[in-house]
Amino acid sequence: MTPAEQGTSRLTRVPGVLYGGDYNPEQWPEDVWAEDAKLMREAGVTMVTVGVFSWARLQPGPDTWDFPWFDRLLDLLHAHGVAVDLATATASPPAWLVRAHPEILPVTADGVRLEFGSRQHYCPSSPAYRAAALRLTRTLAARYADHPALALWHIHNEYGDHVTECFCPRSADHFRIWLTHRYETIDALNHAWGTAFWSQRYGTYDEIEPPRTVPGPVNPTQLLDWRRFCSDVLLECHRAEREVLKELSPDIPATTNFMSMFKALDYWKWAEHEDLVSDDAYPDPADPRAHVNAALNYDLMRSLKGGRPWLLLEQAPSAVSWRPVNVPKKPGVQRLWSLQALARGADGIMYFQWRASRAGAEKYHSALLPHRGTASRGWQETVRFGAELARLGEVTGTTTPADVAIVLDWDSWWALESDDHPSARMRWRDLLHPWYAALHARGVTTDFVPPHADLTGYRAVLAPNLHLLRPEHAARITAYVQGGGHLVCGPFSGVVDGHDHIHDGGAPGPLRDVLGVGVDEFWPVPDGQAVRLTSGAEATLWTEWTETEGPETEIVDTYASGELTGRPAVTRHPHGTGTAWYVSAHLGDGIGPVLDDALRAAGVRPVLDVPEGVEATVRTGEPGTYLFVLNHSDHDTRTPLTGAFAAGGTDLLTGAAVHGHLALGPLGAAVLRIATDSPGENQK
């Protein structure tokens, strides 16, 4: 058995860690394909994504199809042992289609119709687009369902990329239909949208339009429903294609590539319609903390299907081409960041793209096979890393345990970032990031959960912000604490209900009992200013005038400068057999000590005590337990192997036995198969 055959990936029938990338052969003469296939083999590529932007080539006219070239391509890949992730090709409608049906082109909130000449130029509500997309999907599925190369269906590409909403008349109709399903009566809609305000009352559904550009502030609930609708309408397109694939090709898993933590799509809902979660991730090599943000996104991807392995479907081998300045990955970074995805539950590492384009908007984007060809540094890394991944097959199918969960709710994110709030500076990612970074720095692995999740398995649950909170979700959180859980809740939470109406009695609304505080008034901090706390922490962006409610609420920290001096800033409240912390300010990196208090009380321990800049995570299951240790710093590190890892193990990357401590150079990494008590039992 080759090492790659030792583990069977649970994502597809392809064994081992999936390795490959987007392959766009239509950009190349056919004689290049043979070289591609040979080089893929040399690099250890096991799967490539084909067809993503092939619509115009596969269907050159309304009733003309051109499949022989695609047949030859799939046969060639199969002959070289490369499996295919076959795209439905529906993300870039051909010119003939948009000229025949100009209404396919999307329209902005200002009424501008976006022209042909880029990609993703479609209105998701357009019947002509949908019919053409489904016809293409059906034709592809019928032709290739039984092709031996086919291992995965790739539905569309990055739903919501470039265009997340369309304001054309057809979309407006569709929005009205969606609203009638949601509210049934117009009275219910009027109530939900608070249309008594500013004379916005509607007499019939026909009077409603999408939230186009308006003279002043738009109705916030109209906007919130619009965001829900836009996520749902793209999901409808996705589900329609998926149904065709399930009908004609039921044995092949189907996925669509998510875009990490992406505001426009409620990925909790979407993930229910994925056989496996796949992600496109483009951390910026110019950002020294990029790996922390990447960890966050990978934890989300793992969480979207309750911890099941996921697939990193796209990342850049080096530089991208779409930032103002596109810095390459220095040697070792792409390997380290790829292993990071694996460390956080991925079972496949893929890239955009296989061969660097010579023309088009992405000709400066890096590729596994760069313009300079096999002499390039990039190609050498491609081959070297392929060989390394082939040694990691046994980790596939194992999972990444986490004691801590962060609550993420797209509804709340959308409501938080509505206009005309006490401060426009309260952005979900900015609020979340310091909390996640504190956990990351402490070596604590974190899941994400939706607000309706069962929280009972977690030692601690963090809610950096839950601006919109439905009473039923608050009841779940409260029951979790009541039953012994540990909750830390951030500022500006429990403010509005599912209609974006302020909760009775103000914030924290239905969390008042569990938190033991009431918020008297929001006190945002002007730009460039800070408020001191007694502990020495500093609040920026946001503070609140809070009052403890009930004798049991303990004041953990108080404001020590400005108008709120002496008032509670951070509180702790016992509830049932658990404890709830309320943090009324944005503390940025100063959130660490508050989380330490909660993690200590909850008995949360790091995976392993690691030096600064080193990340450790565990994957466990059949056939073993694997400790990933990654050195993101630019200096040598020494990590003692203690606790559950005291027996040491075998580094799958090198085959070396490791005991006592792990020495890693700059950007170094190790994947230790942890020795069991009876030596040799778990060894190959």
For residues 249-269, b (16+ Cβ closer than 10 Å) or e, as one string?
beebbbbbbbbbbbbbbbbbe
Which residue of 268, 352, 428, 523 would you call a contact of ligand GAL, by CB under 6 A?
Answer: 352
Q: Which is nearer to ligand GAL, 280 or 500 (CB)?
A: 280
Cα 291 to Cα 21, 350, 563, distances in angstroms: 21, 17, 38
Q: Which of these segments, 313-321, 343-351, 407-415, 536-544, binds ligand GAL (CB under 6 A)?
A: 313-321
Tokens of 532: 């001191």
Rg (alpha carbons) of the chain, rounded to whole number: 26
Annotated binding-site positions for substrate:
119, 157, 322
Q: Which of 165, 241, 314, 394 is catalytic?
A: 314
Q: Which is nearer to ligand GAL, 101 or 365 (CB)?
A: 365
Does 547 participate in catalysis according to the annotation?
Answer: no
318-347 residues near ligand GAL, rule: CB under 6 A: 320
Which residue of 243, 282, 387, 611 would you call a contact of ligand GAL, by CB under 6 A?
Answer: 282
Which residue of 232, 274, 314, 500 would you call a contact of ligand GAL, by CB under 6 A?
Answer: 314
Q: Which is nearer to ligand GAL, 365 or 467 (CB)?
A: 365
Burial class (CB in 10 A: 0-12, 13-18, 19+), 338: buried
The structure tokens 């490959």 sit at 20
Position 42 contacts ligand GAL (CB under 6 A): no
Beta carbon of residue 321, minimum distance to ligand GAL (angstroms, whole number): 7
Q: Which of 158, 165, 381, 394 is catalytic?
A: 158
Helix (H) or strand (E) holding 21: strand 18-23
Annotated binding-site positions for Zn(2+):
123, 166, 168
Q: 404-407 and 446-449: which strand pairing?
A: parallel
Position 280 contacts ligand GAL (CB under 6 A): yes
Helix (H) or strand (E) holding 300: helix 290-304
| Whole-number Å distance between alpha carbons of 145 and 153 | 9
Is 507 in a helix, a strand, or coil?
coil
Beta carbon of residue 257, minimum distance to ligand GAL (angstroms, whole number): 6
Tokens of 588: 């940025």
Annotated binding-site positions:
119, 123, 157, 166, 168, 322
Residue 652 is which amino acid? L
Does 314 participate in catalysis according to the annotation?
Answer: yes
Beta carbon of residue 528, minimum distance to ligand GAL (angstroms, whole number): 35
Is 179 in a helix, a strand, or coil?
helix
Q: 531-532 and 538-539: which strand pairing?
A: antiparallel
| Contact track, ligand GAL, 428-467, x by CB under 6 A | ----------------------------------------
Q: Which is nearer to ligand GAL, 300 or 463 (CB)?
A: 300
Q: CA torsion angle for 138, 140, 144, 146 (degrees, to 10)?
A: -10
Closest CA to 603 of 444, 371, 410: 444
| Contact track, ligand GAL, 118-157, x by CB under 6 A | ---------------------------------------x
Position 158 contacts ligand GAL (CB under 6 A): yes
Q: Which is nearer to ligand GAL, 365 or 512 (CB)?
A: 365
Beta carbon of residue 334, minimum distance to ligand GAL (angstroms, whole number): 14
The structure tokens 């479609």 sit at 122
Q: Which residues are catalytic?
A: 158, 314
- Name the site residues for ligand GAL (rule: CB under 6 A): 157-158, 161, 280, 282, 314, 316, 320, 352, 362, 365
